Amino acid sequence: MPSQPDECLFCSIVRNGTYVRQGKGFVAVADINPQAPVHLLVIPERHVDSFREIGEFPAREAKRMLEFVADTAREAGLTDYKVQVNVGPTAGQTVFHLHWHILGGGPQPLEDQAHAATAVAEL
Ligand code: 5GP
Ligand code: ZN
């Protein structure tokens, strides 16, 4: 397994956590603070600080990671969903171990705001 910094929250979740799904090199967990009816995180075992370092993944592993994201969403029963990666603190990244958000299962806050804005514009 690639080296995992002791102090990294997601390295420790990969080591000891409760997964909703596990694959070779990746796990999926439920987000502790869900922003949608279904909010999962896909976390690679390989520690890189952010998506900026995606080049550290061998090409096959990067492809398998994307497939793991898609398969996890499908197995969660989602057909329509968002995949989000926050890169850097000002973009909302709070845990500095690459992870993919899967958000689905109903209207989401930004969509609600967009609907509300459309409704106001139509008044
Ligand atoms: P970021 O803000 O870095 O893109 O996403 C980090 C995510 O990790 C947040 O959505 C946050 O709710 C979630 N999170 C933080 N600590 C924990 C934890 O201990 N367990 C789980 N399952 N999710 C966590
Ligand atoms: Zn880590």
Of the candidates 86, 98, 101, the one whose C-alpha atom is nearest the C-alpha of residue 10 is: 98
Distance from C-alpha of 85 to C-alpha of 27, rounded to nearest angstrom: 16
Q: Which is the catalytic residue, given 39, 97, 99, 101?
A: 99
Distances (CA, A) of 68 to 6, 39, 102, 110: 25, 15, 11, 26
> pLDDT tens digit string along 33-48?
999 999 999 999 999 9
Ligand nearest the Cα of residue 5 is: 2
Confidence at residue 20, expressed as pLDDT on a 0 to 100 scale: 96
Confidence at residue 4, expressed as pLDDT on a 0 to 100 scale: 59
pLDDT higher for 67 or 1? 67
